[in-house]
């Protein structure tokens, strides 16, 4: 079996593939001070939770936007499964034609998402990934990565609001009944949910104009599912896009 691990700023997402079949997905918190031994215990417990012995893991691929955590998780998998994980980075074959100014700057998560989208959807394609940051990746009809957009994620925006104002409370992130809020909490929810949806629609319209053709739009990560239902654009939700992309990259390097 192949273990795929995507390490983000907030969460670590794990998935195990038996050939092309995704057997399970699970999440851990990204904790900068956690040691390799601790991660090994947590990964072992997750595998056992889903009825898998670590001996069944034959290989592993890891993408990380947090280098210190990536190193700790890589060592943990090596100790637990007696394998050397493939870490997504320079020298790894992705098949992705990256046309940004400095291709080395493109995050591993964006690479994985783009590769997953190219393998599963009609091009051109736009990938929305809503995590700690909200990112948009644009892939043209030839499968080239043209660039994208980065903005603050919904939870990061909420944190900034509550920590930098005297009277705005911390709230649950869910949609209010109407855009026009009649109290502080609903006003904040409207800004977070409907405001983010409107931002996405506006950016997607502008991206479509620049491309000159209508792209397939796919969203993944964090709160995407709760946001895109309020968008006017037709957006496909794929919770496992990055893990699928990692599996595709692994196959290219096997």
Q: Domain map of the chain by residue range?
A: 2-87, 97-246
Say if 2-87 and 97-246 have the same CATH topology: yes
Residue 222, pLDDT score: 81
pLDDT at 165 over 90: yes
What average pLDDT is seen over the chain? 96
Q: pLDDT of 131-151, one tens digit each? A: 999 999 999 999 999 999 999
pLDDT at 254 over 90: no
When the candidates are 3.30.420.40, 3.40.50.300, 3.40.1390.20, 3.40.718.10, the CATH number that belongs to 97-246 is: 3.30.420.40
Q: How confident is the model at residue 122 (pLDDT cuts 50, 70, 90)?
A: very high
Residue 161, pLDDT score: 94
Q: What is the mean pLDDT of residues 26-48?
A: 95
Catalytic residue among 18, 20, 37, 109: 109
Q: What is the mean pLDDT of residues 26-38?
A: 94
Q: What is the mean pLDDT of residues 92-115?
A: 96
Most distant pair of Cα atoms in the chain: their distance = 58
The proportion of the chain whose per-residue pLDDT surpasses 90, expressed as a percent, equals: 97
**What global pTM score does this model have?**
0.94
Q: What is the CATH number of domain 2-87?
A: 3.30.420.40
Residue 253, pLDDT score: 96
pLDDT at 229 over 90: yes
Q: How confident is the model at residue 184 (pLDDT cuts 50, 70, 90)?
A: very high
Q: Is 129 a catalytic residue?
A: no
Residue 34, pLDDT score: 94
Q: How confident is the model at residue 67 (pLDDT cuts 50, 70, 90)?
A: very high
Q: How confident is the model at residue 15 (pLDDT cuts 50, 70, 90)?
A: very high
């Amino acid at each position: 079996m192949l273990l795929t691990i995507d390490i983000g700023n907030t969460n670590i997402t794990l998935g195990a593939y038996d050939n092309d079949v995704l057997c399970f997905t699970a999440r851990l918190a990204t904790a900068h001070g956690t040691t390799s031994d601790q991660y090994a215990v947590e990964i072992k417990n997750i595998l056992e939770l889903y009825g898998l012995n670590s001996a069944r893991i034959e290989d592993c691929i890891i993408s990380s936007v947090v280098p210190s955590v990536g190193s700790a998780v890589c060592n943990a998998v090596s100790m637990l499964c007696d394998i050397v994980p493939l870490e997504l980075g320079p020298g790894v074959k992705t098949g992705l034609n990256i046309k940004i100014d400095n291709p080395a700057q493109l995050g591993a998560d964006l690479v994985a998402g783009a590769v997953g989208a190219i393998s599963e959807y009609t091009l051109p394609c736009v990938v929305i990934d809503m995590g700690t940051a909200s990112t948009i990746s644009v892939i043209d009809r030839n499968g080239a990565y043209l660039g994208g957009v980065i903005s603050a994620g919904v939870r990061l925006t909420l944190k900034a609001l509550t920590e930098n104002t005297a009277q705005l409370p911390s709230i649950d992130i869910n949609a209010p009944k109407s855009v026009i809020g009649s109290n502080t909490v609903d006003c904040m929810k409207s800004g977070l949910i409907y405001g983010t949806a409107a931002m996405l629609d506006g950016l997607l319209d502008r991206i479509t104009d620049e491309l000159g053709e209508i792209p397939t739009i796919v969203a993944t990560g964090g709160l995407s599912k709760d946001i895109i239902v309020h968008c006017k654009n037709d957006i496909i939700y794929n919770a496992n896009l990055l893990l699928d992309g990692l599996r595709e990259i692994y196959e290219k390097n096997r």
